[in-house]
């Protein structure tokens, strides 16, 4: 659960764990390689069609995190087009580099916020 986003980022629910396993199976079978990436919207549409369940995009991302942490899809990558299982080592390494760059940017932002607010009047 994320601070200030508690309403939309609660921990994964048991029924979402089941749905995450269904998503993982689909990605493992159909979304291999970045050219076959499946978007959050396509995942939501498929769930609605097959199971009649509606999920917020944030809940899909929460399920994707569960899939990654539990390693239900080895080498699960993502890009601007969606989620996919790396088809080769280059795709996997590119995703890891991208993830590290995003982490670095977030850390730089936090460091700047801390640095520039030290000594300022407290809110």
User: In Å, what is the CA distance from 59 to each residue of 21, 29, 43?
Assistant: 14, 22, 11
Dihedral angle of Cα 63, 64, 65, 69, to the nearest 10 degrees? 100
Q: What is the CATH code for 14-87?
A: 1.10.10
User: In Å, what is the CA distance from 50 to each residue of 20, 28, 43, 97?
Assistant: 14, 18, 10, 35
How many other CB atoms are there within 10 angstroms of residue 115's CB atom?
9
Query: Where do the structural domains in the chain lie, given as residue ranges?
Result: 14-87
pLDDT digits (tens, 9 = 90+) for 92-113: 999 999 999 999 999 999 999 8
- pTM of the predicted model, to two decimals? 0.83
pLDDT digits (tens, 9 = 90+) for 16-35: 999 999 999 999 999 999 99
């Amino acid at each position: 659960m994320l601070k200030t986003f508690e309403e939309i980022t609660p921990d994964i629910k048991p029924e979402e764990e089941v749905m995450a396993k269904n998503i993982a199976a689909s990605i493992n079978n159909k979304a291999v390689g970045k050219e076959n990436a499946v978007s959050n919207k396509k995942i939501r549409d498929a769930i609605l069609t097959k199971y009649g369940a509606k999920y917020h995009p944030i809940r899909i991302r929460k399920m994707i995190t569960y899939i990654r942490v539990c390693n239900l899809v080895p080498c699960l990558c993502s890009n601007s087009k969606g989620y996919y299982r790396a088809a080769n080592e280059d795709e996997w390494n590119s995703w890891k580099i991208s993830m590290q760059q995003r982490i670095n940017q977030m850390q730089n932002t936090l460091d700047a916020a801390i640095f520039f607010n030290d000594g300022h009047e407290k809110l």
